[in-house]
Chains A and B, each alone.
Chain A
Amino acid sequence: MAQPLVKKDDDRDEEADYSPFLGIEKGAVLQDARVFNDPQLDARRCSQVITKLLYLLNQGDSFTKVEATEVFFAVTKLFQSKDNGLRRMVYLIIKDLSPSADEVIIVTSSLMKDMNSRTDMYRANAIRVLCRITDGTLLTQIERYLKQAIVDKNPVVASAALVSGIHLLQTTPEIVKRWSNEVQEAVQSRAALVQFHALALLHQIRQNDRLAVSKLVTSLTKGTVRSPLAQCLLIRYTSQVIRETGVNSQTGDRPFYDYLESCLRHKAEMVIFEAAKAITELSNVTTRELTPAITVLQLLLSSSKPVLRFAAVRTLNKVAMTHPMAVTNCNIDMESLISDQNRSIATLAITTLLKTGNESSVDRLMKQITNFMSDIADEFKIVVVEAIRSLCLKFPLKYRSLMNFLSNILREEGGFEYKKAIVDSIVILIRDIPDAKESGLLHLCEFIEDCEFTYLSTQILHFLGNEGPKTSDPSKYIRYIYNRVILENATVRASAVSTLAKFGALVDSLKPRIFILLRRCLFDNDDEVRDRATLYLNSLGDGSVAETDKDVKEFLFGSLDIPLTNMETTLRNYAQNPTEEPFDIDSVPREVKSLPLVEKKAPGKKPTPLGPPPPAPTSASDAYERILSTIPEFANFGKLFKSSVPVELTEAETEYAVNVVKHIFDHHVVFQYNCTNTIPEQLLENVTVIVDASEAEEFSEVGVKPLKSLPYDTPAQTFVAFERPEGVPSVGKFSNTLRFTVKEVDTSTGEAEDDGVEDEYQLEDFEVVAADYILKVGVSNFRNAWESMDPDTERVDEYGLGPRESLVEAVNAVISLLGLQPCEGTETVPNNSRSHTCLLSGVYIGNVKVLVRLSFGMDSSKEVAMKLAVRSDDVNVSEALHEIVASG
């Protein structure tokens, strides 16, 4: 059948030079399938057509129901042929066509005949095909044959029946379970794979019976299991039994450990590795138990086969997470893997070494890595750089060689992401290791002398401006910075100007010289550069050696604690309505607007959207404040602290749609009910909401602002105001009833009748919760903000959150309970992680800044525990946040 599968008279012969299937077309092949109906079957021809059909299916072509049925019926005719090869192809295509139940009946008798044929190969294949396509009812008819087949002396037949049994157990377990005697007999088979298949099936039949599994393992671990695959299975079952029985408390011995250990000396590598892996995965494994497994894995590390090296290093990598000391013996072998051709192996080796490496091996490790850095792709270099960074933080004394390494690779060729990773690492090292600061800054200075990435240059200049003036000899950086002003593009020049100004502000002795440099910048041909120079010259004083004003320093170094989007919209509004008054930065709302979902996917530096989506007003809180300030009754409530998002009080598509917005003031709460009348035939008048605050004891109603008229489809608001005690975050539940006078409207004229009827409409309840008293305000650098807060205000406690689906769920629940702003993208929990730290910040009512550090952990039974650390400007607020969590 190895002949080209094109028709002899086909004119595509030359093209077929490349592929026998070139230009193959489904329609034509289906036509060809008519040869199946010939009274004189040409076996080879038929095989070729089946191969073509299989080719089409394999390439992803699909047959319509009608086509598949036609082919299937045609194929069934081929059982008449005695040709072995054709019969095999028939089996294949029947499996691939997966016929429906009523079609199966057509081939059942043919297949059953084959099952009892004298040719073993027919029997084995017929069993597999029949079991694949059959359903439960038919199975009872052939069960007898299958039981026989399981203990057949031909291993191919026995395996076919056993594997089919494994598949059928999923659909018709009650039948397969009746075969356990035969399967048990097959476990003793001398044929390797029969033993493997029988063991797999037997275990699955008994898997819910712990005692039976334990018995099975006990008897088999004593006997001889021949097949390596079966041995692997037995190791897995043994680990399962070990997991369920636990350690013998008296002797400290683990049952069956000896068996696992003996498997480490098996002749098949597959079994050795399976056993080593099983030992490393034992719960609470001791060093004594671990040692032989590690020794075996260590040997595999120097195997010539990449698969073995990979398997070993991957397992050791996992062990290093829990038992780093146990793996240190392998470090030398692991080091040679750093330069492994296979990058997956090299990456695993590096990350393992990082977990296990000790201080003395750092230098050697660096040398190793240096040698192969030039051979690998950027993507992998980044992994290495990140690894070096954590190594350096682990061994701060070794910063010199690590910093040298980073500066060397910084000078070499590389793409943006790679250079950025290096620069970020150096910055982190400078920040965390004081000794590394001066050399690190100089490396960065050298880098910007020849840096093609504007973004990195500006980042470094900014960083230099903050750190450089605090070094022992700030003047040495000036040259590097001023070179940027001369040589670079406008963006870099502008940030170099800012950096110069920072040096001027902090280092008084340098000030006169900085002034000279800044004055030169006044002639720059870029507006931004000139503007910055002018601004700094004016704010830094008169250029003499004098201390800089505190306000100026604050201006230069303080972080802008206002969300940039809000700043942008406020400035836009300001520019659109020209006034005489100067712009007041305090008028910018501080609350972070929830960003559209699309953006959340890209945490980090997200570009600020230029206009939010149309349904949201330019700034919701602005709009609310404007509305509220027009109502004289509420004018004396003071400044609005926070407005909640609207809470729907009606189901969708009801007669009246109402939602409520909770406005929080220092002493008051105002509920704004946004009402919409959805009935064209009605006009509502004197609309009020009757609020029952009996479940909100601390609140007392002080005013109501009814709505005069509510025509069809014109949203309007009614308000209810409550007084509440100051300082405490009072919570409570409010039930609401909409009361109004309804008037009929003639839809043709649009006029309402004079007489109306009083009516009420029940709305849903809502609650004022603790989160309503907290503003979402992000901080740009959480660590700095956290450390600048008084540690005495810190309150720490631990909470059990009970079983949860995932950490994501637990994290989100706590975030929404507290109503704080997640910082630095810590609200995203990596998939399947077992622990997570989330950073939150915000402002508590009374303008008290709050920072929260949440550490989550999840154990194997999905129980989530949480550690909550709060710092704030006021200890009482720290405690209040704990109360929120404790009661939530």
Chain B
Amino acid sequence: MATFLSHETCPTIKNILLLDSEGKRVAVKYYSDEWPTNSAKLAFEKSIFSKTQKTNARTEAEITMVENNIIVYKFIQDLHFFVTGGDEENELILATVLQGFFDAVTLLLRNNVDQREALENLDMILLCLDEIVDGGIILETDSSIIAGKVATHSIDDGAPLSEQTISQALATAREHLTRSLLK
């Protein structure tokens, strides 16, 4: 794991978490060494999960503060998405990252966003995280570009996706990618 960079001026993401409806990990990524051990990480996940559990973050992203960290989060089905930043961070930047992650996952899972789909396509989720943030620095926030980068690698005829949808998804993703190349 990369060491956390403490540049005060560059927007920095402390972690991205994808938890299930019981607060268990689906995929997590820590970019800050503020939580050095796995138990510290689990405790942090537990505290933000229990704090946000009862809120309704299904239509719009919600926001709260836990231990001097800003947490933006959004839920869908049995999946809970979280993005964390320091308390001086621009809340809207964090929300943009969350939205990018959320929408990219929705694209990649073809709108069947739930825990089971996420675990069955964990490789895509992990690649998706890898394309959004690198060592705390935002790489990309546009969901279609993120999904496009992940999907280009999934040319796989054995996948249980219906042929049509995958080719559609790829088409959109490629189109976005090409557009971003030509900008």
User: Chain A: residues with CB nearer than 8 A to chain B?
Assistant: 1-5, 18-21, 44, 47, 50-51, 54-55, 58-60, 62, 84-85, 87-89, 91-92, 95-96, 98, 121, 128, 132, 154-156, 159-160, 163-164, 166-167, 170, 190-193, 196-197, 200, 203-204, 229, 232-233, 236-237, 240, 269-270, 273-274, 277, 304-308, 310-311, 314, 341-342, 344
Contacts and interface: CB of A to CB of B under 8 A. Distances in A.
Nearest to B154: A85
B153 A121 contact: yes
Contact of B64 (A51, A92, A164, A342): A342
A62 B1 CA distance: 13
B108 to A, nearest CB: 9
B120 A341 contact: no
B36 interface: no
B25 A4 contact: no
Interface string B139-165: 111000000010011111011110000
A192 B145 CA distance: 13
Interface of B: 1-3, 5, 7, 9-11, 25, 27-28, 38, 41-42, 55-56, 60-65, 72, 90-96, 115-116, 119-124, 126-127, 130, 134-135, 137-141, 149, 152-156, 158-161, 180-181, 183
A342 B123 contact: no
> Chain B binding site: helix, strand, loop or mixed by DSSP?
mixed
Contact of A55 (B2, B9, B122, B141): B122
A167 B158 contact: no
B180 A306 contact: no
B120 A2 contact: yes
B91 A307 contact: yes
Contact of B156 (A4, A21, A85, A200): A85
Contacts of B64: 342, 344
Contacts of B116: 18-19
B161 A2 contact: yes
B28 to A, nearest CB: 6
Nearest to B26: A58
Contacts of B161: 2
Ranked 3 nearest A-B pairs via Cβ = A60-B38, A311-B91, A270-B92
B60 A305 contact: yes
A13 B56 CA distance: 35
A159 B92 contact: no
Contact of B95 (A4, A59, A160, A307): A307
A307 B180 contact: no
Contact of A2 (B92, B140, B159): B159
A269 B95 CA distance: 11
> Chain A binding site: helix, strand, loop or mixed by DSSP?
helix
A341 B55 CA distance: 8
B84 to A, nearest CB: 13
Given A307-B63, A311-B90, A47 B27 contact: no
B159 A163 contact: no
A121 B27 CA distance: 23
A270 B38 contact: no
Contacts of A307: 60-63, 72, 91-92, 94-95
A269 B93 CA distance: 9
A869 to B, nearest CB: 34
Contacts of B141: 229
A504 B61 CA distance: 63
A44 B160 CA distance: 13
A874 to B, nearest CB: 47
Given A1-B156, A167-B5, A200 B139 contact: no
B62 A163 contact: no
A229 B119 contact: no
B138 A229 contact: yes
Contacts of B96: 270
Contacts of A156: 149, 180
B160 A3 contact: yes
A166 B10 contact: yes
A305 B95 CA distance: 10
A188 B136 CA distance: 24
B62 A270 contact: no
A310 B139 CA distance: 25
A344 B3 contact: no
Contacts of B25: 58-60
12 contacts: A18-B116, A121-B152, A155-B180, A163-B134, A166-B10, A166-B137, A200-B7, A229-B138, A232-B90, A270-B96, A306-B61, A342-B55
A327 B25 CA distance: 42
Contacts of B42: 60
A667 B59 CA distance: 79
A375 to B, nearest CB: 13
